[in-house]
Amino acid sequence: MLDNLKQAVLKNVLTGLSVLIPLYLTIYILSSIVGVFDHVFDVMPQSYSISRIRFPGFGLILVLLLATLVGLIVRNLIGRNVFRFLNGLIERVPVVASIYSLLRQVSEAMLGQGEKSFSRVVLVEWPRRDSWSMAFVTADSQEQLVQALGKKDRWLNIFLPTTPNPTSGFYFMVPESDVVDIQISVDQAFKLIISAGAFPLEHQKP
pLDDT tens-digit readout, 10-53: 777 777 776 677 667 766 776 776 666 666 666 555 555 555 55
pLDDT for residue 132: 94
Task: Dump pLDDT digits (tens) for 4-18.
Answer: 777 777 777 777 776
Q: Mean pLDDT for the chain?
A: 75
Question: Hey, what CATH topology would domain 115-199 get?
Answer: SH3 type barrels. (2.30.30)
What is the side-by-side strand order in the sheet with 169-175? 169-175, 155-161, 132-140, 120-125, 180-181
- pTM exceeds cut of 0.85: no
Ordered by start, the domain boundaries in the chain are 115-199
pLDDT for residue 206: 45
The least confident of 39-48, 63-72, 92-101, 161-170 is 39-48
DSSP run (H or E) holding 135? strand 132-140
Cis omega (within 30 of 0) on the bond before 200? no
